[in-house]
Amino acid sequence: MSEVKKDGNPSQGAAGAYTLAEILSQPECWGKCLRDLEASSEIESIRKSFAEAAEWIFVGCGSSYYIALAAAASWSEITGRRASAIPASEVMLYPEASLAGSENFVPVLISRSGRTSEVLKAAELFKGKRVRSLAITCAAGQALEMLTTHTIVLPAADEQSTVMTRSFTSMLLALQYLAAALAPKDELMGSLHELSAASENILKKLAPRVRDLTSAKRFEDYVCLGQGPYYGLASESALKLTEMSCSYGQSFHTLEFRHGPKSIVSPQTLITFLLSERHYAAELEMLEEVKQLGGSTLVIANKADAPTRAAADFLVELALPGPEVTRLAAYMLAGQLMGLYTGLQKGLDPDRPRNLSRVVILKEDRPQHATI
C-alpha cells in the first residue's frame, strides 16, 4: 500500500497522488474549460464552417473513443442531427466500410495529446479527401491541430498522470456545450455551466465512501452497464478499473447483460449500473434480476426510488439539477475513484499503470500500448 495521510488518501508524491488530485479537480476544471470556450471565437467559427453539415462522426482511441460514444449520443439528442462514433483504427484500416453512406459529414477527432498515431492517420485520410474536420485536444500546437480545419484546445484539462480522468469529462462537456451552442439551446448551455458547482459536494462525500468500499471487500470481476449515452461512460468506467488496478473489467449495454454475460454473476462480481431517467424502469428490472442472482451491485442514479435502494449494495445518488443529457460527466466520478482506490488497495500506482504510457505513438508499425 502506498504512503497515505491520516484521511486515507495518498500523500503528495505517493502512488496515486496525481490521479486523485486530478479526479478531485474536475468540477473546477469543467467551469474553467467552459468559460474559456465561451470566451473564444472558436464556437462561432465552427458554426459558420459546419452550419449545413448533416452528420457528425466522432473518432478516437481508447478513452477518447468512449468520449466519442457518449458525445455522439448527446449530439443527436441535443441537435437532432445524425451522429455516430467510430474507433480511429477502423477509419485507418477500413475507411470504406466505416464511412459507407456518409455524406456532408464533419469528422470530430479526439485526442488528449494531439499526437495519437491512429487519430493522426485518420485525420490525414480526411485531409487527403478534402473533408473539413474538427479536433478536440488538451495540448496546443500538436500535429493533430495542423491536420484539421478547426481545433478546440482545453489546456486546463491536461494531466500529469497516465490515465485520463479530467481530460475525459472535460472534452465530453466541451463537445456537449458545442452541440448546445450550435442547436442553439441556451438552457442546456446554462445547465452545463451549473454542473461544475453542483458536483463539488458530490465529490467531497463520494471519495471517502468509495475508498471505504474498496477497503471493505476485494472483488474478482467488475462489470459496468449503461444504455444510450451511458454505454460510453460504462465502457470508460470499466477501463479505469483495468488501467489503474489491473482488474478484469467488462462493459455491456444494460439490457444485453441478461443475454449470456449474466452467467458470471456472483457475490465476488461487482456490477455497476449507470441508471438513466428516461428508461429507468427497464434498467431497474435488470438490476433486480442481478440482485436476485446474488450479484454485488453499485448503482449510480440521479434520483433513486425504494426498489433501487433495496437492490443497491452501494448507491451513488447524484441529485443534480438540469436536463438529463447535461449530467453525464458526473456519472464518471464513481468509476474513476473505484479504479484509483482499487489500485491502491492492490499496492499499485494508479499514476503509472504497468505497460502503459500517456500517448500511443506507432513506431515501425508496432504500437506502444497506452491510454489516449
C-alpha cell at 317: 445518488
Q: In sequence order, what E strands does the chain have?
A: 55-60, 82-87, 105-110, 134-137, 150-153, 221-225, 249-252, 269-274, 296-301, 314-317
Report the pLDDT averaged over residues 273-277: 98
Question: What pLDDT, on the 0 to 100 scale, is given for residue 102?
Answer: 81
User: Is pLDDT at 149 greater than 80 in this prediction?
Assistant: yes
pTM: 0.93
C-alpha cell at 54: 448533416
C-alpha cell at 79: 441537435
Q: pLDDT tens across 37-52, in order?
A: 999 999 999 999 999 9
Q: pLDDT tens across 78-108, in order?
A: 999 999 999 999 999 999 998 988 889 999 9
Torsion of CA 330, 168, 312, 246, to 10 degrees: -150
Question: What pLDDT, on the 0 to 100 scale, is given for residue 307?
Answer: 98
CATH 3.30.450.40 given to domain 199-345: no
Q: How far apart are CA 321 and CA 157, in angstroms?
A: 24
Question: What pLDDT, on the 0 to 100 scale, is given for residue 12?
Answer: 62
In the chain, CATH 3.40.50.10490 covers 17-191, 199-345
Count other C-beta atoms under 10 Å from residue 276's C-beta: 19
Superfamily for domain range 17-191: Glucose-6-phosphate isomerase like protein; domain 1 (3.40.50.10490)
Q: How far apart are CA 272 and CA 363, in angstroms?
A: 37
